[in-house]
Chain A
Amino acid sequence: MLKGRSFLEPMDFTVEETEELFQLADKIIEEPGRYSKTCEGKLLATLFYEPSTRTRFSFEAAMLRLGGQVIGFSEPNSSSVAKGESISDTIRTVACYADIAVIRHPKEGAPKVAAACTDIPVINAGDGGHQHPTQTLTDLLTIRREKGRIGNLTIGLCGDLKFGRTVHSLIKALSRYDNISFILISPEELKVPEYVRKEVLMKNRLPFEEVENMQEALPKLDVLYMTRVQRERFFNEEDYIRLKDRYILDAAKMKLAKEDMMVLHPLPRVNEISVEVDSDPRAMYFKQAKYGMYVRMALIMSLLGVEGREVRTW
């Protein structure tokens, strides 16, 4: 039962609860019209302290497609935050108006602070370089639908594995499925953080290797998860410039990969995937973005506990 709960990191839901969510997402994908009034009279607040197009639009589209409404801000300077209001005060106030809140914040753990101060469900839409659990739901749903399973897979994660919050969340979530092995492709400076290596990979005895060469890893992969080197996470511009073009996936490199390897990317991309790859049937990232909206619809419905309000079709 997910009603009333917050979703701050992938492990907040059990594998079974996550599967229930995916089954609901499957139903929504099959017949979206049936769910167009399930959130009538409900209000979603989007508190975006950091720029976002995709995630914010995805949440807003999800709520609107469920018949609900949306309030919020997309940059903190247009809200009381600019006056120095704390996260806890903001969420307490927002909870007076809205039924559910989505928060993105540059500081790691900010959604947890918010959730501790309110009774309404809080969804983490990305906190600094830490976690991005709804992107993980998106990634898992894409793998599940396009591969037919989440398990028995060799997953390659490439690029910024240090500050890439989608990477941290995905590794955590995948650690609970059977026969997953990881190939972590990154320069030395952008390796996964210590807590991911120690607390997730080593603790769960997951097979993983850390490499710098993308070409050598490609033939072994079932899934390649590309990430952008994020300028906003660097304190030093020189480091960003030095590392930003380290990995570029192009058509020539795709020839090294398996026929059925899927390419995922949380988007936005800059130049880490060449546009010539877009037409390759193995490129799944735009499809992935669409699945993201559906799984967020399923998440909002489940946290609000509005299942059973579907439109009847005869």
Chain B
Amino acid sequence: MVVIDSIKNGIVIDHITAGLGMKILEYLDIDTSKDTVAVIMNAVSNKYGRKDVVKIENVQDIDLAALGIIDPKATVNYIEDHIITKKIHLTVPEKVVNIIKCNNPRCVTSVEQSAPQIFHLIDRENREYRCEYCDEIICMKGGYSNEIIHKQWYDR
């Protein structure tokens, strides 16, 4: 039995598909030298069989749209003074800006740095997105790792 302390203030991302916890943590670009982070991998889940959980102390502001793309089954719990004050069930966003990168080498976004990366949802079940500029279709269900833009990258 692994015991991990509860957090006083922060967020708990629960019901993450087993294996995606590190991916989510990487995307969120949390400063682990400053913030306390716990990643629980492959934990037993009554709902899904196995799951990952990410707990982050003293962080509240995260990009829910990006999380919705990576793992829409996950839930985000906001903790204040040890109490869950808000619980959010993620959804697959209709439109995303600067979250997915177009992988078509002929797309204008490969050369025009000022153009935001805009994608529109065309198939919710398969998490398929269409590029605003070149119409390239990217499926985010499964092999998404190359197309997700690292948060730090687009914050610049």
Which residues on the A side are within 8 Å of B107 (C-beta)?
A: 107-109
Q: Contact at A113–B122, with CB atoms within 8 Å?
A: no
Q: Contact at B137–A113, with CB atoms within 8 Å?
A: no
Q: Check A130/B135 contact, CB under 8 A, given A108-B106, A199-B130.
A: yes
Q: Contact at A112–B135, with CB atoms within 8 Å?
A: no
Q: Is residue B61 within 8 Å, beta carbon to beta carbon, of the partner chain?
A: no
Which residues on the A side are within 8 Å of B48 (C-beta)?
A: none
Chief secondary structure at chain B's binding surface: loop
A105–B109 alpha-carbon span in the complex (Å): 13
Bitwise, A193-215 to B at CB < 8 A (1) or not (0) is 11100110000000000000000
Q: Is residue B32 within 8 Å, beta carbon to beta carbon, of the partner chain?
A: no
Q: Contact at A109–B137, with CB atoms within 8 Å?
A: no
Smallest CB gap from B107: residue in A = A108
A130–B114 alpha-carbon span in the complex (Å): 21
Q: Is residue B115 within 8 Å, beta carbon to beta carbon, of the partner chain?
A: yes
Size class of the contact patch on chain A = 20 to 34
Q: Is residue A306 within 8 Å, beta carbon to beta carbon, of the partner chain?
A: no
Smallest CB gap from A130: residue in B = B134
A86–B110 alpha-carbon span in the complex (Å): 12
Q: Contact at B134–A194, with CB atoms within 8 Å?
A: no
Q: Contact at B135–A199, with CB atoms within 8 Å?
A: yes
A88–B109 alpha-carbon span in the complex (Å): 12
Bitwise, B114-156 to A at CB < 8 A (1) or not (0) is 1100000010000000111111110000000000000000000
Question: A88-B112, A108-B108 provided; 9 other pairs, C-beta below 8 A?
Answer: A88-B114, A88-B115, A107-B108, A108-B104, A109-B115, A109-B131, A113-B133, A195-B136, A199-B122
B residues contacting A by CB (< 8 A) are 104, 106-115, 122, 130-137
